[in-house]
Amino acid sequence: MKNLKLFFIYLFSFVVILNTLLLAQNQDKGNVSNALISKIRQKCVTEKGIVNAVSANDTRKLIVNRNNAGKIDDIFAIKLDIKGITNQKSSGRCWLFTSLNVLRQKARDKFNLSSFEFSETYPFFWDQFEKANLFLEGVIKTRSKKMTDRKVEWLFKHPVGDGGVWNMAVAIIEKYGLVPKSAMPETYHSENTRSMSRLIGLKLKEQGLKLRDLASKGKSVRYLRKEKEKMLEDIYKLLVYHLGEPPVKFSWRYKDKDGKLSPEKTYTPQEFAKEVLDVDLRDYVMLMDDPTRPYYKLYEIEYDRDVYEDFNWKYINLPSAELKKYALKSLLDKEPMYFSCDVGKQLDRKAGILSVENYDYESLFGISFKMNKAQRILTSSSGSTHGMALVGVDTSDTGKPVKWLLENSWGPSSGHNGFLIMTDKWFDEYMFRLVVLKKYIPENILNILKQKPVMLSPWDPMFLPVEDM
CB 345 within 8 A of CB 377: no
> Helix 121-141 vs helix 221-243: angle between axes, to the nearest 10 degrees?
160
- Nearest-5° Cα angle at 96, 276 to 127: 95
How far apart (Å, rounded) are the C-alpha atoms in residues 296 and 315?
10
Q: Which amino acid, one-letter code, is at 406?
A: L
Best CA proximity match to 453, nearest among 322, 325, 311: 311
CB 228 within 8 A of CB 134: no
Best CA proximity match to 299, nearest among 423, 458, 92, 144: 458
87 has catalytic annotation: no
How far apart (Å, rounded) are the C-alpha atoms in residues 236 and 128?
9
Write the CA distances from 202 to 26, 160, 214, integer angstroms.
46, 10, 19
94 has catalytic annotation: yes
> In 315-423, which residue ranges form alpha helices assigned H by DSSP?
320-332, 361-365, 373-378
Q: How many CA atoms lie within 13 A of 111 on its CB side?
A: 25
Q: How many CA atoms lie within 13 A of 177 on its CB side?
A: 19
Q: Under DSSP, is residue 103 helix (H, G, I), strand (E, B) or coil?
A: helix
- Nearest-5° Cα angle at 213, 207 to 216: 145
How far apart (Å, rounded) are the C-alpha atoms in residues 56 and 363?
18
Q: Residue 415: which region, alpha, beta or left (left: phi > 0; alpha: psi -120 to 50)?
A: left
Q: Three-class SS string for 133-173?
A: HHHHHHHHHCCCCCCCCHHHHHHHHCCCCCCECHHHHHHHH
DSSP category for residue 244: -
CB 393 within 8 A of CB 405: yes
Q: Among 68, 94, 189, 312, which one carries the catalytic annotation?
A: 94
CB 297 within 8 A of CB 159: no
Beta carbons within 10 angstroms of residue 59's beta carbon: 13
Q: Among 52, 192, 408, 416, which one carries the catalytic annotation?
A: 408
How far apart (Å, rounded) are the C-alpha atoms in residues 242 and 165?
23
386 has catalytic annotation: yes
Q: Under DSSP, is residue 391 helix (H, G, I), strand (E, B) or coil?
A: strand
CB 368 within 8 A of CB 46: no
Q: Among 68, 358, 386, 444, which one carries the catalytic annotation?
A: 386
| Catalytic residue set | 94, 386, 408
